[in-house]
Structure 1
Amino acid sequence: MGELIGYVRVSKADGSQVVDLQTDAMLAAGVRKDMVYEDRASGSRDDRPGLDHCLKALRAGDTLVLWKLDRLGRDLRHLVNTVDDLATRSIGLRVLTGHGAIDTTTAQGRLMFGIFATLAEFERTLIRERTIAGLASARARGRVGGRKAVMTPAKVRLAESAMGHPETNVAALCKELGVSRQTLYRHVAPDGSLRPDGCRIVGAGRGTGASGDRRIEALS
């Protein structure tokens, strides 16, 4: 039987938030104290060294233990991709609290996460369709020509989704978005991951006071 390895996170690094509640839940679930990794950073950030070390420490047969589902992913797509990667490595996921705890080492838990994966694909499709419709509408009103093209949160999300597929034609995507290849790659990497400029735009698009984890929070 593999190890139980925990990951905890609070959004602020100034000491105003503590991980005690999450850590206590980990210990109660059987995770050893020296097997709990932590971060003090927003979930929307790419640079989370605690999570990186945690994922590297996991081996086949181990189980990643979370206090709530929103502690892990930047958004629903990142969450699903991360858990898919864990499953490929024969690593389980156990979520201790939230609206329905999850344990992917059980048939019921795998079914529940399959629903999340379906929702993530549905979300990507909606973003793609709305962005394409919005760009077509802007072109019809003559708002694209002669104006400096900029990346919006919707464009970044479409680019993030499209660049993750090897069959994507980058030139066609740039034309659809109305941006140069240089602008595209400044925001989204060739593998579909967000770069710092893209993260800033997506974060700003969530609105003042909105939590970057809100969509996941509603599911956990």
Structure 2
Amino acid sequence: MGQKAAIYARVSTSDQSCERQLRELAEFAERGGYEVTSIFKETASGTKSNRAERSKVLELTQARKVDAVLVTELSRWGRSTQDLLDTLNKLSGWKVSIVAMSGMTFELDTPHGRMMATMLTGIAQFERDLISERVKSGLAAACARGKKLGRQPEQRPKSDKLAPDVLAAVEEGRSYRWIARYLCISKNTVLSIVKRHRENA
């Protein structure tokens, strides 16, 4: 047999099934001459940061027990463009590649892989710029309406309304301290919003 591979399949909700992905990936592995040594499947939102099965795959790759990770499409693996780029860099350091079922192999130590990394970096920056622009636009609109952000005297913080701005800033890579100062809320409020989002994700 050829390279050792792990199969990773993911669906977003409990009413969906990984079986079709697993079947197609098994057929793809056979055609490509991969020796499938591990199969991982999980139900989790695409943006959820804590994916137990994906973490197991990363542990397996770090131990260099496989040469490749097979997925139906990159959106099943990466939470975002930046997350995809980060994990590709990790896998590259461990000499492991991500192979999408389209047949495209992502290896950052090859010319093609480096070109893809450059493109992904640009896309990730573009996404961060859009998020930043959306946050700033939303805050400017709120100020124009006379809305006061943050904790007001004898008033509980409107964390539910500020949650989208907080989460967008977190996705942009801003620190909790920066977000708290920018939105005029406490750092504890930022922590509470992020914790609640992760628990509900």
Q: Deviations over 1:69-126 (max 9, x none)?
A: 11101222322222222234343222222xx824325422331232022101111022
- For the pair 1:197 / 2:200, whether they are aligned, the reply is no
Task: Flag the 1:162–1:109 CA change in 2: closer, same or farther, 3 A.
Answer: closer
Q: Secondary structure at the match of 1:45?
A: coil
Q: Report the Cα distance in structure 2 between the residues aligned to 1:173 and 1:3, rounded to whole angstroms.
A: 44
- For the pair 1:175 / 2:181, whether they are aligned, the reply is yes
- For the pair 1:149 / 2:152, whether they are aligned, the reply is no
Q: Secondary structure at the match of 1:34?
A: strand
Q: Deviations over 1:111-155 (max 9, x none)?
A: 123202210111102211331232133123321254733233243
TM-score (structure 1 length as normaliser): 0.69
TM-score (structure 2 length as normaliser): 0.75
Superposed CA RMSD in Å reads 3.0
Identity %: 24
> Which residue is 1:32 aligned to?
35
Residue 39 of structure 2 aligns with an amino acid whose one-letter code is V
Task: Flag the 1:8–1:116 CA change in 2: closer, same or farther, 3 A.
Answer: same
> Which residue is 2:192 aligned to?
186
Identify which of 73, 77, 87 aligns with 2:78: 73
1:7-86 equivalences under 5 Å are: 7-14=8-15, 16-18=17-19, 19-59=22-62, 62-86=67-91
Post-superposition offset of 1:12: 4.1
Structure 2 stretches lacking a partner, 5+ long: none
Post-superposition offset of 1:55: 0.8
Whose relative contact order is higher, 1 or 2, with alpha carbons under 8 Å and at least 6 apart? 1
Aligned length in residues: 188
Structure 1 stretches lacking a partner, 5+ long: 189-194, 204-220
- For the pair 1:137 / 2:141, whether they are aligned, the reply is yes
Q: Secondary structure at the match of 2:26?
A: helix
> Which residue is 2:128 aligned to?
124
Contact kept in structure 1, 2:4 and 2:36, CA below 8 Å: no
Post-superposition offset of 1:16: 4.6
Q: Report the Cα distance in structure 1 between the residues aligned to 2:78 and 2:199, rounded to whole angstroms.
A: 14
Residue 193 of structure 2 aligns with an amino acid whose one-letter code is H
Task: Flag the 1:114–1:4 CA change in 2: closer, same or farther, 3 A.
Answer: farther
Q: Report the Cα distance in structure 2 between the residues aligned to 1:58 and 1:116, rounded to whole angstroms.
A: 22
Larger Rg: 2
- For the pair 1:111 / 2:111, whether they are aligned, the reply is no
